[in-house]
């Protein structure tokens, strides 16, 4: 079986697994409702007076866009890696002709059609409630939104690979990811739009990987940043994605030696 056919098979397998475990997916989707909570909170605040450039509609547009980006860019590979290392089933992946990272990626990407189905109601809600004027009117920016999404997913996935591979050295690495997740919540724009941060802090936060995961695609989708800022963000996404992937490969290569030596 050639590699293209194998990857296509893995994508179909990822979709089949998502359908088979749709209950877990629904639970995951329902627990990713923080943007809806923040929408309610911030629109209530803005009803008294605008916050920066944000009125009630601006907050609604921002957090609905955040919901779309969050659901399309999420990954779960860290839990897979930890469980497979703990149970020893990682050894089965090592026997396959493709690198385990490619298999994990294909399985995660295979779930995207189901995620899109769950997001379909959000688009009419956005358009009916707010209208298309809150989306970018620049066709180039609209096109750049797609690579922004892919880059955001790439950073999420590769950073999870890094933390997941630490389980080859420690018993579990989920606690490390909890720290990463806390930093993401604080500095990605997930809870508070980054442009509401103090200027001295905002300039630094916009360079962090967390902002490239959420704020960049959201602001590109809404057209609140120009093409230059989006392209700069795409370059940062590429740098972070390649850096995390390189680190994950290094950790995995060295960690697998320990895994095999101890009879994993």
CA distance 18 to 44: 36
- For residue 169, report the phi and psi dihedrals to the nearest 5 degrees: -110, -30
- The pLDDT of residue 149 is 94
The span from the CA of 142 to the CA of 74, in Å, is: 21
Residue 221 has a pLDDT of: 94
Cα separations (Å) of 162 from 56, 79, 139, 247, 249?
39, 12, 35, 7, 8
Tokens coding 241: 């994605």
Alpha-helical regions (H) of the chain: 3-20, 22-31, 34-48, 56-73, 77-87, 90-94, 100-109, 112-119, 122-129, 139-165, 174-187, 199-205, 209-213, 215-222, 227-261
Give me the phi and psi of 180, to 5 degrees please.
Answer: -60, -45
| pLDDT given at position 98 | 79
Please say whether the beta carbons of 34 and 189 come within 8 A: no
The pTM of this model reads 0.86
Measured CA distances, 183 to 64, 102, 139 (Å): 21, 27, 33
Q: Going residue by residue through the chain, which has 264 residues, state the pLDDT in tens, using 9 for 90 and above.
A: 555 665 566 556 655 555 444 444 554 555 567 788 888 888 888 888 889 889 998 998 999 899 889 888 888 888 888 888 888 888 888 887 778 898 888 888 877 777 777 777 777 777 777 888 888 999 999 999 999 999 999 999 999 999 999 988 887 788 888 899 899 999 999 999 999 999 889 989 999 999 999 999 999 999 999 999 999 999 999 999 999 999 999 999 988 877 654 555
CA proximity to 212, closest of 191, 239, 192: 239
**The pLDDT value given to residue 15:** 53
pLDDT at 20: 45
Instruction: Specify the pLDDT at position 14.
Output: 55
């Amino acid at each position: 079986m050639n590699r293209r056919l194998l990857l296509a098979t893995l994508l179909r397998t990822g979709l089949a697994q998502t359908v088979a475990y749709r209950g877990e997916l629904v639970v995951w989707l329902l627990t990713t409702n923080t943007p809806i909570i923040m929408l309610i909170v911030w629109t209530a605040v803005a009803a008294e007076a605008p916050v920066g450039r944000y009125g009630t509609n601006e907050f609604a547009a921002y957090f609905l866009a955040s919901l779309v980006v969050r659901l399309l860019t999420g990954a779960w590979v860290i839990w897979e890696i930890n469980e497979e290392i703990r149970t020893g089933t990682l050894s089965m992946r090592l026997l396959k002709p493709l690198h385990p990272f490619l298999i994990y990626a294909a399985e995660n990407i295979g779930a995207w059609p189901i995620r899109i189905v769950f997001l379909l109601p959000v688009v009419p809600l956005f358009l009916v409630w707010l209208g298309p004027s809150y989306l970018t009117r620049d066709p180039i920016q609209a096109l750049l939104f797609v690579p922004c999404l892919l880059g955001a997913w790439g950073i999420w996935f590769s950073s999870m690979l890094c933390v997941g591979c630490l389980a080859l050295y420690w018993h579990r690495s989920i606690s490390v990811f909890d720290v990463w997740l806390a930093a993401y919540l604080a500095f990605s724009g997930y809870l508070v739009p980054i442009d509401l941060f103090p200027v001295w802090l905002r300039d630094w936060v916009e360079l962090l990987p967390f902002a490239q995961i959420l704020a960049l695609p959201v602001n590109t989708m809404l057209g609140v940043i120009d093409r230059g800022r989006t392209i700069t963000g795409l370059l940062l996404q590429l740098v972070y994605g390649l850096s995390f992937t390189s680190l994950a490969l290094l950790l995995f290569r060295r960690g697998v030696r320990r895994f095999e030596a101890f009879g994993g």
